[in-house]
Amino acid sequence: MTALGTAVVVGGASGIGLATARALATEGYAVTIGDVNVDAARSAADEMAARAVALDVTDEDSVAAGFDGLDDLRVVVSCAGLTVPGALTELSLADWQTTIDVCLTGSFLVLKHAGQRIVDGGSIVVVSSLNARQPGTAMGAYCSAKAGVSMLVEVAALELAPRRIRVNAIQPGVVDTPLTAGLALVPGLMDEYIDNTPLGRSGTPEEIADMAVFLASDKAAWITGAAFDVNGGAHLQRYPNVLGRVQAMMP
Protein backbone atom coordinates (compact mmCIF):
# COMPACT_ATOMS: atom_id res chain seq x y z
CA MET A 1 0.00 0.00 0.00
CA THR A 2 1.33 3.45 -0.88
CA ALA A 3 1.71 6.19 1.69
CA LEU A 4 -1.23 8.10 0.21
CA GLY A 5 -3.63 5.12 0.30
CA THR A 6 -6.19 3.98 -2.26
CA ALA A 7 -8.09 6.08 -4.79
CA VAL A 8 -11.04 4.82 -6.86
CA VAL A 9 -11.98 6.45 -10.15
CA VAL A 10 -15.45 5.43 -11.34
CA GLY A 11 -15.74 5.77 -15.11
CA GLY A 12 -11.96 5.82 -15.26
CA ALA A 13 -11.39 4.00 -18.54
CA SER A 14 -11.56 7.07 -20.81
CA GLY A 15 -11.86 10.83 -20.97
CA ILE A 16 -11.90 12.81 -17.73
CA GLY A 17 -11.86 9.64 -15.66
CA LEU A 18 -8.75 8.28 -17.36
CA ALA A 19 -6.92 11.59 -16.98
CA THR A 20 -7.89 11.65 -13.30
CA ALA A 21 -6.70 8.08 -12.74
CA ARG A 22 -3.36 8.95 -14.32
CA ALA A 23 -3.02 12.09 -12.23
CA LEU A 24 -3.82 10.30 -8.96
CA ALA A 25 -1.38 7.50 -9.81
CA THR A 26 1.30 10.11 -10.48
CA GLU A 27 0.57 11.65 -7.08
CA GLY A 28 1.28 8.28 -5.49
CA TYR A 29 -2.14 6.74 -4.85
CA ALA A 30 -2.87 3.06 -5.39
CA VAL A 31 -5.53 3.54 -8.06
CA THR A 32 -8.50 1.33 -8.82
CA ILE A 33 -10.28 2.04 -12.11
CA GLY A 34 -13.94 1.03 -12.15
CA ASP A 35 -15.78 1.08 -15.45
CA VAL A 36 -18.61 -0.69 -17.25
CA ASN A 37 -16.11 -1.27 -20.07
CA VAL A 38 -13.85 -3.58 -18.10
CA ASP A 39 -11.54 -4.32 -21.06
CA ALA A 40 -10.77 -0.62 -21.47
CA ALA A 41 -10.38 -0.32 -17.70
CA ARG A 42 -7.84 -3.16 -17.69
CA SER A 43 -5.90 -1.60 -20.55
CA ALA A 44 -5.78 1.74 -18.71
CA ALA A 45 -4.84 0.04 -15.45
CA ASP A 46 -1.95 -1.82 -17.08
CA GLU A 47 -0.56 1.51 -18.28
CA MET A 48 -0.23 2.87 -14.74
CA ALA A 49 0.16 -0.28 -12.62
CA ALA A 50 -3.36 0.20 -11.29
CA ARG A 51 -6.21 -2.21 -10.54
CA ALA A 52 -9.28 -2.58 -12.75
CA VAL A 53 -12.78 -3.72 -11.78
CA ALA A 54 -16.05 -4.04 -13.68
CA LEU A 55 -18.39 -1.38 -12.30
CA ASP A 56 -21.82 -0.51 -13.69
CA VAL A 57 -23.22 2.54 -11.89
CA THR A 58 -26.80 1.51 -12.79
CA ASP A 59 -26.42 -1.74 -10.79
CA GLU A 60 -26.12 -1.39 -7.01
CA ASP A 61 -24.57 -4.83 -6.55
CA SER A 62 -21.91 -3.94 -9.12
CA VAL A 63 -21.14 -0.63 -7.39
CA ALA A 64 -20.90 -2.30 -3.99
CA ALA A 65 -18.63 -5.02 -5.36
CA GLY A 66 -16.39 -2.40 -6.95
CA PHE A 67 -15.58 -1.01 -3.50
CA ASP A 68 -15.20 -4.36 -1.75
CA GLY A 69 -11.77 -5.50 -0.64
CA LEU A 70 -10.12 -2.08 -0.78
CA ASP A 71 -7.77 -1.06 2.02
CA ASP A 72 -7.24 2.51 3.21
CA LEU A 73 -9.72 4.06 0.75
CA ARG A 74 -9.04 7.80 0.86
CA VAL A 75 -10.22 9.27 -2.45
CA VAL A 76 -13.16 8.52 -4.74
CA VAL A 77 -13.78 10.37 -8.00
CA SER A 78 -17.02 9.62 -9.83
CA CYS A 79 -16.89 10.40 -13.56
CA ALA A 80 -19.46 8.11 -15.17
CA GLY A 81 -21.95 9.90 -17.38
CA LEU A 82 -23.82 10.02 -20.66
CA THR A 83 -26.61 11.92 -22.33
CA VAL A 84 -29.41 11.03 -24.74
CA PRO A 85 -30.42 14.38 -26.24
CA GLY A 86 -33.91 15.17 -27.40
CA ALA A 87 -36.67 17.77 -27.14
CA LEU A 88 -38.87 17.19 -24.09
CA THR A 89 -41.96 16.76 -26.24
CA GLU A 90 -40.23 14.03 -28.27
CA LEU A 91 -37.91 12.32 -25.76
CA SER A 92 -38.91 8.78 -24.89
CA LEU A 93 -39.28 7.75 -21.28
CA ALA A 94 -36.62 5.08 -21.86
CA ASP A 95 -34.07 7.67 -23.05
CA TRP A 96 -34.95 9.98 -20.14
CA GLN A 97 -34.52 7.10 -17.70
CA THR A 98 -31.18 6.02 -19.18
CA THR A 99 -29.70 9.46 -18.58
CA ILE A 100 -31.15 9.70 -15.06
CA ASP A 101 -30.01 6.17 -14.19
CA VAL A 102 -26.38 6.77 -15.17
CA CYS A 103 -25.89 10.40 -14.16
CA LEU A 104 -28.07 10.86 -11.08
CA THR A 105 -28.88 7.43 -9.65
CA GLY A 106 -25.36 6.29 -10.49
CA SER A 107 -23.92 9.22 -8.51
CA PHE A 108 -26.18 8.33 -5.57
CA LEU A 109 -24.99 4.72 -5.60
CA VAL A 110 -21.33 5.75 -5.74
CA LEU A 111 -21.81 8.23 -2.89
CA LYS A 112 -23.66 5.61 -0.86
CA HIS A 113 -21.07 2.87 -1.14
CA ALA A 114 -18.04 5.14 -1.17
CA GLY A 115 -19.39 6.86 1.93
CA GLN A 116 -19.69 3.52 3.73
CA ARG A 117 -16.11 2.50 2.99
CA ILE A 118 -13.96 5.63 2.74
CA VAL A 119 -11.79 6.46 5.73
CA ASP A 120 -12.59 9.38 8.00
CA GLY A 121 -11.02 12.49 6.54
CA GLY A 122 -11.29 11.21 2.96
CA SER A 123 -12.43 13.08 -0.13
CA ILE A 124 -15.17 12.31 -2.67
CA VAL A 125 -15.36 14.26 -5.93
CA VAL A 126 -18.29 13.95 -8.34
CA VAL A 127 -18.03 15.24 -11.90
CA SER A 128 -21.22 17.16 -12.59
CA SER A 129 -21.57 19.57 -15.53
CA LEU A 130 -22.04 23.14 -16.67
CA ASN A 131 -25.57 21.89 -17.37
CA ALA A 132 -26.19 21.65 -13.65
CA ARG A 133 -26.68 25.41 -13.75
CA GLN A 134 -27.14 26.27 -17.44
CA PRO A 135 -30.14 24.94 -19.42
CA GLY A 136 -29.82 23.83 -23.01
CA THR A 137 -32.34 22.86 -25.66
CA ALA A 138 -32.57 19.09 -26.22
CA MET A 139 -30.71 18.62 -22.93
CA GLY A 140 -33.63 18.28 -20.52
CA ALA A 141 -32.72 14.89 -19.11
CA TYR A 142 -29.03 15.70 -18.75
CA CYS A 143 -29.61 19.16 -17.26
CA SER A 144 -32.07 17.73 -14.73
CA ALA A 145 -29.75 14.86 -13.80
CA LYS A 146 -26.70 17.06 -13.36
CA ALA A 147 -28.60 19.67 -11.35
CA GLY A 148 -29.65 16.80 -9.10
CA VAL A 149 -26.04 15.63 -8.84
CA SER A 150 -24.82 19.00 -7.62
CA MET A 151 -27.54 19.11 -4.93
CA LEU A 152 -26.83 15.50 -3.99
CA VAL A 153 -23.21 16.49 -3.39
CA GLU A 154 -24.34 19.21 -0.97
CA VAL A 155 -26.48 16.75 0.98
CA ALA A 156 -23.63 14.21 1.10
CA ALA A 157 -21.26 16.92 2.32
CA LEU A 158 -23.60 17.66 5.23
CA GLU A 159 -24.13 14.03 6.16
CA LEU A 160 -20.47 13.00 5.95
CA ALA A 161 -19.00 16.09 7.59
CA PRO A 162 -19.03 14.55 11.11
CA ARG A 163 -16.45 12.08 9.77
CA ARG A 164 -14.48 14.93 8.14
CA ILE A 165 -15.17 13.46 4.71
CA ARG A 166 -15.27 16.22 2.12
CA VAL A 167 -17.64 15.96 -0.86
CA ASN A 168 -17.38 18.35 -3.79
CA ALA A 169 -18.47 18.64 -7.42
CA ILE A 170 -16.73 19.80 -10.57
CA GLN A 171 -18.90 21.36 -13.29
CA PRO A 172 -16.96 21.19 -16.57
CA GLY A 173 -17.95 22.88 -19.78
CA VAL A 174 -17.24 21.26 -23.12
CA VAL A 175 -14.15 19.06 -22.78
CA ASP A 176 -12.43 17.11 -25.53
CA THR A 177 -13.43 13.53 -24.66
CA PRO A 178 -15.05 10.56 -26.44
CA LEU A 179 -18.37 11.66 -24.88
CA THR A 180 -18.27 15.01 -26.69
CA ALA A 181 -16.73 13.81 -29.97
CA GLY A 182 -20.17 13.64 -31.57
CA LEU A 183 -20.59 17.41 -31.26
CA ALA A 184 -18.31 17.87 -34.25
CA LEU A 185 -20.84 15.99 -36.40
CA VAL A 186 -23.41 18.77 -35.96
CA PRO A 187 -22.47 21.70 -38.23
CA GLY A 188 -21.67 24.85 -36.27
CA LEU A 189 -22.33 23.36 -32.84
CA MET A 190 -18.75 23.25 -31.59
CA ASP A 191 -18.15 26.74 -32.95
CA GLU A 192 -21.15 27.95 -30.96
CA TYR A 193 -19.79 26.32 -27.81
CA ILE A 194 -16.45 28.07 -28.27
CA ASP A 195 -18.09 31.41 -29.15
CA ASN A 196 -19.90 31.25 -25.82
CA THR A 197 -16.78 30.39 -23.83
CA PRO A 198 -14.98 33.61 -22.82
CA LEU A 199 -11.55 31.93 -22.77
CA GLY A 200 -12.16 30.86 -26.34
CA ARG A 201 -11.51 27.12 -26.36
CA SER A 202 -12.71 23.76 -25.14
CA GLY A 203 -11.12 22.18 -22.08
CA THR A 204 -8.87 19.16 -21.73
CA PRO A 205 -9.46 16.12 -19.53
CA GLU A 206 -6.22 16.93 -17.73
CA GLU A 207 -7.55 20.33 -16.65
CA ILE A 208 -10.52 18.68 -14.96
CA ALA A 209 -8.24 16.04 -13.45
CA ASP A 210 -6.07 18.78 -11.95
CA MET A 211 -9.10 20.13 -10.08
CA ALA A 212 -10.03 16.65 -8.88
CA VAL A 213 -6.50 16.08 -7.55
CA PHE A 214 -6.59 19.44 -5.78
CA LEU A 215 -9.92 18.63 -4.14
CA ALA A 216 -8.52 15.28 -3.02
CA SER A 217 -5.49 16.93 -1.43
CA ASP A 218 -4.89 18.48 1.95
CA LYS A 219 -4.76 21.87 0.21
CA ALA A 220 -8.57 21.60 -0.02
CA ALA A 221 -8.97 20.53 3.60
CA TRP A 222 -11.54 23.26 4.36
CA ILE A 223 -13.62 22.86 1.21
CA THR A 224 -16.79 20.76 1.13
CA GLY A 225 -20.23 20.97 -0.44
CA ALA A 226 -18.91 23.16 -3.25
CA ALA A 227 -19.38 22.99 -7.03
CA PHE A 228 -16.53 24.36 -9.10
CA ASP A 229 -17.12 25.79 -12.57
CA VAL A 230 -14.18 24.64 -14.69
CA ASN A 231 -15.41 25.74 -18.07
CA GLY A 232 -13.44 28.69 -19.41
CA GLY A 233 -16.18 31.03 -18.21
CA ALA A 234 -18.94 29.39 -20.25
CA HIS A 235 -21.35 29.72 -17.32
CA LEU A 236 -21.20 33.50 -17.83
CA GLN A 237 -22.81 33.37 -21.26
CA ARG A 238 -25.37 31.08 -22.88
CA TYR A 239 -25.59 27.44 -23.84
CA PRO A 240 -25.60 26.57 -27.56
CA ASN A 241 -28.92 25.95 -29.28
CA VAL A 242 -28.41 22.21 -29.64
CA LEU A 243 -31.94 21.52 -30.82
CA GLY A 244 -31.82 24.27 -33.43
CA ARG A 245 -28.49 23.03 -34.77
CA VAL A 246 -29.74 19.46 -35.05
CA GLN A 247 -33.00 20.52 -36.71
CA ALA A 248 -31.02 22.53 -39.27
CA MET A 249 -29.38 19.26 -40.36
CA MET A 250 -32.69 17.65 -41.20
CA PRO A 251 -33.79 17.49 -44.86
Please give the pLDDT value at position 187: 85
Q: Answer with the residue of higher pLDDT: 1 or 86.
A: 86
Please give the pLDDT value at position 221: 98
Please give the pLDDT value at position 2: 59
Please give the pLDDT value at position 155: 98
- Please state, in angstroms and rounded to a whole number, the distance separating the CA atoms of residues 120 and 188: 48
- Kindly report, residue by residue over 189-220, the tens digit of the pLDDT: 999 999 999 999 999 999 999 999 999 999 99
Select from 36, 29, 71, 76 the least CA-distant residue to 50. 29
pLDDT-derived band of residue 34, with 50, 70 and 90 as boundaries?
very high
Q: Answer with the residue of higher pLDDT: 94 or 241.
A: 94
Q: Where are the domains of the chain?
A: 6-244
* 36 in Cβ contact with 109 (< 8 Å): no
* 56 in Cβ contact with 34 (< 8 Å): no
Mean pLDDT confidence for 139-157: 97
pLDDT, averaged across the chain: 95
pLDDT-derived band of residue 245, with 50, 70 and 90 as boundaries?
confident
Q: Is 142 a catalytic residue?
A: yes
Q: Which fold has domain 6-244?
A: Rossmann fold (3.40.50)
